[in-house]
Amino acid sequence: MGLFIRQDDNRSKLQERLAAELREKAKARAEEDGRSFDGVNDSSYLKDTKQTTSLAWVWALIVVVAITISVWLMFLNGQ
């Protein structure tokens, strides 16, 4: 017979303290490196980009139709 250990979703005080310490260490290390917490210095890679317009579904529909026609033509050519 095995030993059944009951585990709850609740964290013990020790686990909470360790998690808080690790978060603080990671935050301090990120600040020392001069980076933000996620590792991105700035968002310059987003410069000169634009959001998708509301007509994006039209382009998706055109692509689906083109693929469907291509498959249909290949099927007809194979007979």
Residues 6+ away with beta carbon under 8 Å from 27: 37
Q: Note down the domain range covering 17.
A: 11-39
The reply to whether 51 falls in a domain is: no
**Of 21-25, 47-51, 58-62, the least confident:** 47-51
Q: For residue 53, name the pLDDT band (cuts at 50, 70, 90).
A: confident
Counting the structural domains of the chain, the total is 1
pLDDT single digits (tens) 5-44: 555 556 688 888 898 999 998 888 877 766 555 556 666 7
The reply to whether 35 falls in a domain is: yes
Please report the pLDDT score of residue 30 as a whole number.
72
Is 37 in contact with 26 (CB distance < 8 Å)? yes
Q: What is the pTM of this model?
A: 0.38
Please report the pLDDT score of residue 1 as a whole number.
46
Residues 6+ away with beta carbon under 8 Å from 11: 19
The reply to whether 24 falls in a domain is: yes
If DSSP codes are grouped into helix, strand and coil, which group holds residue 68? helix
